[in-house]
Amino acid sequence: MKPSNKGRKSAVAAIKVQDGWMTVETTVNGARQSWKIRPDDFLLDALRREGFKGAKKGCETGDCGSCAVLLDGKAVASCLLLAAQSQDREITTIEGLGTPSEPHPLQEAFVDTGGIQCGFCIPGMILSAKALLDRTPSPTEAEIRRALDGVLCRCTGYVKQVQAVKLAAERKK
Ligand code: FES
Ligand code: FES
């Protein structure tokens, strides 16, 4: 789960800086956002400041995956990306997936299998699983494990979370 900024230099370079502040235009969960940020703000901090607290602050070094969000459909560590790099891109956070009364099938499957314990890693797990199922609707167990391997869980043995992704894939058929 590495952030990719390929081909995005011109979009970032076009952002104006005034008195040390930048205005970034991005899309989060389908809604256009205009953020005032400092050039050295990380995407994770900007998201949390704007109320998207599902992205969790763990290691801040790209190692735990608890800050994962989807950037143009790919799971990335938001603690490693500058907020400015989200200019003109589509971000999906866990808040964009479902609601308590209408959960996303992956959220439902994580609950049904007991894959959720303290919940800290779960937004990263579910978003990584979503990126996988969007491109590979019937993944093998190895593919599921590979998709989740960037997200560390302090509570579980990962078995139930792998079961949850399998269950969500089955239910989608
Ligand atoms: S907080 Fe980003 S990978 Fe750990
Ligand atoms: S459920 Fe607690 S860290 Fe994963």
Task: Tell me the mean pLDDT in the region 135-142.
Answer: 98
Report the length, in residues, of the chain: 173
Per-domain residue ranges of the chain: 9-92, 105-172
The CATH architecture one would assign to domain 9-92 is: Roll (3.10)
CATH number of 105-172: 1.10.150.120
Ligand 2 atom 2, closest CA: 118
**Nearest residue to 12 (alpha-carbon basis) of 29, 25, 27:** 25
The SS3 assignment for 23 reads: strand
Residue tagged 């763990």 (tokens): 58
Atom of ligand 2 nearest to the CA of 66: 3
The stretch 12-38 carries a mean pLDDT of 90
The sign of the torsion formed by the CA atoms of 14, 6, 60, 166 equals: positive
Same-fold call for 9-92 versus 105-172: no
- Residue 76: strand pairing partners: 69
- Say which ligand is closest to the CA of 110: 2
The model's pTM: 0.92
DSSP 61-103: SSSS-TTEEEETTEEEETTTSBGGGGTT-EEE-GGGT--SSS-
- Tell me the per-residue pLDDT of 53-102, one tens digit each, with 9 for 90 and over: 999 999 999 999 999 999 999 999 999 999 999 999 999 999 999 999 99
- The token duo for 159 is 């078995």
- pLDDT for 3 equals 54
